[in-house]
Amino acid sequence: MKVLITGVTGLIGSHLAKYFIDNTDYQVFGLKRWRSDEKNIISFKHKIKLFEFDITDYVSLLKIIKEVKPDLIYHLAAQSYPKESTEAPFLTFDVNINGTVNLLEAVKELQIEPKIHIACSSASYGIVEEINNPIKEETKLLPLTPYGISKVAQEQLGYLYYKNYGIQTYMTRFFNQVGPGQNERSSIQTFCKQVAMIEKGDLPPIIKVGNLNPKRDFTDIRDTVKALDLLLLKGRPGEVYNIGSGKAISIRRVLDIILQKADCKVEVKIDASRLRINDEPILQGNINKFQADTGWKPVYKIEETIDTILNYWRKNI
């Protein structure tokens, strides 16, 4: 079995590649941008076939897929930060939407039949009243950012190519996926990194934060990769699934847990540069549909996830 992962150096891509190496006999192929940091895959890079590519370059992508002829494709390459998408909407649309078209067109042109996962996002929902949380897949999509809009478009493209051309696509609306090796722009990562730097004496005892009021559904990356394995084994093509913990916790509570684990006393200060134009008050996924189809169940608690992330930063600064 050949599995191809776009965005293999990112949080989900790198952990997914390691999961397949450790638990299957799959041949693992990874696609990365030439300038992407390889720190997340360095320990097992020798066990995967790695290609440098640009998802917006159709010709190079076609060549790679023709060479590999994958049985499974996990499409994770993206501009994946909502705040950045408001500053760079053209780039976000080009990478996320046109990149997905390129992948699906290449599969169609080559007339191969892989199962394709397309990584979408809970950002597609936008503001959903707390009474309507946990959010079901049939909830109306009203995204608040170019990123969220691009993820809705990716879903629709997946469905279009499934219905019109019979390509087996599986779309997931990821809620907040977290784990070691993630970019520090996410809340848990930046809080843990700042604490680690304060403990080391590299920063004054002040943690800079954005809006602490939103509630988010955090999924440990170890649960995520198991979900993605089951998705293409047991999921239904053409469907959209929520992937989350099924629980919501406020960013303020996340910070409290981190500070309880810190070996220092700190002051918390609002940093205006960390605030978004709009923040969905709560995003909590209803994961019943995915659980019913695959039997998946998240097992890691937020405290365990924070432990792994905090220890990662303590070792890597």
- Reference 309, options 206, 188, 208, 183; nearest CA is 188
| CA–CA distance, 17 with 2 (Å, rounded to integer) | 12
- Reference 134, options 244, 28, 47, 279; nearest CA is 244
| For range 122-135, the mean pLDDT | 95
pLDDT at 280: 87
- Percentage of the residues of the chain whose pLDDT score is greater than 70: 100
For residue 271, the tally of other CB atoms under 10 A from its CB is 12
Check pLDDT > 90 for residue 17.
yes
> What residue ranges of the chain are covered by domains with CATH 3.40.50.720?
2-178+219-246+289-294
Q: Where would I find the beta strands (DSSP E) of the chain? A: 2-6, 27-32, 49-52, 72-75, 115-121, 168-174, 176-178, 206-209, 215-216, 218-220, 240-243, 249-250, 267-270, 282-283
Number of alpha carbons in the 13 Å side-chain half-sphere of residue 218:
22
pLDDT at 51: 96
pLDDT at 60: 95
Helix, strand and coil percent figures for the chain, each rounded to 5? 45, 20, 35
Cα→Cα distances 3→77, 127, 130, 229, Å: 15, 35, 39, 11
Q: How does the average pLDDT of the chain come out, rounded?
A: 96
Could you read off the pLDDT of 210-259 as tens digits, one per residue? Answer: 999 999 999 999 999 999 999 999 999 999 999 999 999 999 999 999 99
Cα dihedral 261, 207, 281, 174 in deg (nearest 10): -60
- Percentage of the residues of the chain whose pLDDT score is greater than 90: 91
pLDDT at 184: 85
Q: pTM to 2 decimals?
A: 0.95
pLDDT at 122: 96
Characterize the bridge pairing of strands 27-32 and 49-52: parallel
Could you read off the pLDDT of 99-119 as tens digits, one per residue? Answer: 999 999 999 999 999 999 999
> What residue ranges of the chain are covered by domains with CATH 3.90.25.10?
187-215+248-283+300-315
| CA–CA distance, 25 with 150 (Å, rounded to integer) | 34
Could you read off the pLDDT of 297-307 as tens digits, one per residue? Answer: 999 999 999 99
Q: Where would I find the beta strands (DSSP E) of 199-288? A: 206-209, 215-216, 218-220, 240-243, 249-250, 267-270, 282-283
Check pLDDT > 90 for residue 43.
yes
Check pLDDT > 80 for residue 278.
no
- Can you give the length of the chain in residues? 317
CATH number of 2-178+219-246+289-294: 3.40.50.720
For residue 94, the tally of other CB atoms under 10 A from its CB is 15
Q: How confident is the model at residue 312 (pLDDT cuts 50, 70, 90)?
A: very high
pLDDT at 273: 84
Number of alpha carbons in the 13 Å side-chain half-sphere of residue 200:
15
pLDDT at 35: 86
Tokens of 26: 């799959």
Q: How confident is the model at residue 34 (pLDDT cuts 50, 70, 90)?
A: confident
Check pLDDT > 80 for residue 261.
yes
Tokens of 191: 């809080």
pLDDT at 179: 97
Contact 280, 214 (CB under 8 A): yes
Q: Which CATH architecture has domain 187-215+248-283+300-315?
A: Alpha-Beta Complex (3.90)
Chain centre to alpha carbon of residue 42: 20
Treating both helix axes as pointing N-terminal to C-terminal, what angle do 187-200 and 251-261 enclose, rounded to 10 degrees?
30
Backbone angles phi, psi at 316, to 5 degrees: -125, 30
pLDDT at 200: 96
